[in-house]
Amino acid sequence: MSLVRPNIEAMAGYVPGEQPKEGEAVKLNTNENPYRASEKAYDAIRAVADKGLSRYPNAAGQAFREAAAAIYGVEPDWIMCGNGSDDILTILTRTFVGENQLLRLPYPSYILYKSLAEIQGARSEEVRFNDDWTLPDYFAQAPTAFASERVNTLENVSPEDLKLVYLPNPNSPSGTRLSNEQIRKIADALPCPIVIDEAYADFSGTNCIELAKENPRVIVSRTMSKSYALAGLRFGFMIARPDTIAETFKVKDSYNCDALSIAAATAAIQDQEWLAATTKKIVATRERLMTRMRELGFIVPESFSNFTWNVWRNNELSHKELYLYLKKNGYLVRYMNYEGYGDGLRISVGTDEDTDKCLALVERYLNGDR
């Protein structure tokens, strides 16, 4: 007999993107930033290391809270730091969603949300995106027993079961975004908190921080992994009303962020000049990637992120085969297959040179090279 909780035993577990050995492949599979982070972040790490690591860090990451608060026009008690934004999402799920209760997410989107519900012994309601990557009205409504918009089957659903909604904006894998007006409507109608996962918002030109200031049920999650080029550091944060932040503090590990990451993330977020210059470059490359993939015969939804979602217009060709061809030639992209939806390739924006080489390989494959 297993000693493990049945819900843990039953779950498949989230599988992170492939991380090849250094130099083994050009990584275009986990939406990292191809550029080196602000030198100020590296200087901050060296300064902390020189001073020593024998003491615990500030438990709240106060230096970062103050820096981020100044940038977003809130007080520091509106910010909570996390060990990557995955930590933030874990803390939020644990704070709001209990056993058997319901967590709602759009589909297809970030797979981790569902795993977090499973760990809680909670249920998740996956609501299908419309074909144009907008959401059906149902997304903002209380759950009902029979909902055609739902991907999965759920029994004994009552309206009060819904405790938390996740909305990645821009979404992954599509790179698409909902307008702030649409999100405002959803947030106003929902009977529970909504987490806007803004992992990619710096590439989008819009965000929901003002909405979080207006609506106490809106929580914004951010990461330093993508736009700030610090995926290896593990640092994320959320912006929400101080009373919400105070509750989540009860759930987080005491020292969930270490001294090196707090110092580096603080220095990085203070270097907004670096952020603006780097995102500008990435957005320009993204536009070229999108245009060229469309010319090569893919359906590519308008991306507001640092990756594109690519589906063959001609469905006789295999996404899996192209993924393997690119991998064989040293380019790692993300092959995704969503049950009941279909498969495709998510390609992260690399440097101009790597993006061009990847595009040239796609073209070679289409010209018959195997």
Site of interaction with ligand PLP (CB under 6 A): 31, 84-86, 110, 168, 172, 197, 199, 223, 225, 231, 236
Residue closer to ligand PLP by CB (options 48, 81) is 81
d(CA 111, CA 126): 10
Q: Residue 269's closest CA among 225, 309, 335?
A: 225
DSSP reduced 3-state for 245? helix
For 48-83, b/e burial (b = at least 16 CB within 10 A) is beeeeeeeebeebbebbbebbbeebebebebbbbbb
d(CA 234, CA 265): 9
Residue closer to ligand PLP by CB (options 85, 248) is 85
Task: Tell me how far, at minimum, the Cβ of 297 lies from ligand PLP, in Å.
Answer: 26
Amino acid at 145: A
Task: Tell me how far, at minimum, the Cβ of 148 lies from ligand PLP, in Å.
Answer: 26
Residue closer to ligand PLP by CB (options 238, 267) is 238
d(CA 40, CA 365): 42
Residue closer to ligand PLP by CB (options 30, 141) is 30
Task: Tell me how far, at minimum, the Cβ of 82 lies from ligand PLP, in Å.
Answer: 8
Task: Tell me how far, at minimum, the Cβ of 307 lies from ligand PLP, in Å.
Answer: 9
Residue closer to ligand PLP by CB (options 110, 304) is 110
Task: Tell me how far, at minimum, the Cβ of 299 lies from ligand PLP, in Å.
Answer: 21
Backbone conformation region of residue 263, classed left if phi is above 0, alpha if psi is from -120 to 50, else beta: alpha
